Amino acid sequence: MALKATIFKTELQVSDLDRHHYETYNLTVAKHPSETDERMMIRLLAFALFADENLSFTRGLSTDSEPELWKISPSGEIELWVELGMPDEKRIRKACGKADQVVIVSYGENKAEPWWQKNSEALNRCRNLSVLYIPLSSGGDLAAMVNRTMQLQFTIDDGQVWIISEGDTIDIIPATWKEVG
């Protein structure tokens, strides 16, 4: 018998001072049985970083043909493709051919940097690709914020992200490993 996804209800308040985007999103997040709490919170962080009324979660881990998040235009073009972790370089090149902009949100203290060193030369050729790294060792415990019903506040200012949940605050400064261009 296959395990089912766990459903989380999240009220996500985004105050992005860098993009002048201020909105509250009521999200239903399905957590795949193989997904960790930390990874699910990284998905929510990625949503906050690129928040937009057309941004949506996909089937993610349960399908190879979709990213974790994407923004699709009203005419059906993929404007933004967001991958998490350390995806295969071939998958990213394919995504860069399908989407206007592709972003990798990488994390994992001991794995992300070796992955980037191995793939950076090939990925730097992708003009519409950005790569962010989320350093979690200094950012606190994202997994400790997880509840089946969450109210999260994300404040983004000058590249720094503050996540507030039930009085707890985590401060994260994403590193940009590659910018579009």
Could you read off the pLDDT of 37-77 as tens digits, one per residue?
A: 999 999 999 999 999 999 999 876 556 678 999 999 999 99
User: pLDDT value at position 32?
Assistant: 86
The band of 153, judged by pLDDT with boundaries at 50, 70 and 90, is: very high
Average pLDDT, the chain: 92
Q: Assess whether pLDDT exceeds 80 at residue 94.
A: yes
Q: What are residue 70's DSSP bridge partners?
A: 56, 81
The domain spans of the chain are 6-178
Q: What is the pLDDT of residue 62?
A: 54
CATH 3.40.50.720 fits 6-178, yes or no: no
Q: pLDDT, tens digit, for every residue of 3-22?
A: 788 999 999 999 999 999 99
Whole-number percent of the chain with pLDDT over 70: 93
Which residue from 143, 141, 39 is spatially nearest to 83, judged by alpha carbons? 39
CA distance 35 to 171: 23
Task: Tell me what pLDDT residue 181 has.
Answer: 67
- The per-residue pLDDT for range 100-147, each reduced to its tens digit, is 999 999 998 889 999 999 999 999 999 999 999 999 865 468 888 999
pTM of the full structure? 0.93
Could you tell me the end-to-end alpha-carbon distance of the chain, in angstroms, rounded to an integer?
47
Phi, psi of 65 (to 5 degrees): -95, 5
Please state, in angstroms and as integers, the Cα–Cα distance from residue 63 to each residue in 8, 32, 59, 85, 175, following that order: 20, 11, 6, 15, 28
Residue 141, C-beta contacts closer than 8 angstroms, at least 6 positions apart: 170
- How is the chain classified by DSSP, letter by letter? -PPPPEEEEEEEEEEETTTTEEEEEEEEEEE-TT--HHHHHHHHHHHHHT--TTEEE--GGG-SSS-SEEEE-TTS-EEEEEEES---HHHHHHHHHHEEEEEEEEE-TTTHHHHHHHHHHHHTT-TTEEEEEE--TTT--GGGG--SEEEEEEEEETTEEEEEETTEEEEE--EEEE---
Given this model, what pLDDT does residue 74 score?
Answer: 92
Cα 117 to Cα 47: distance, rounded to the nearest angstrom: 26
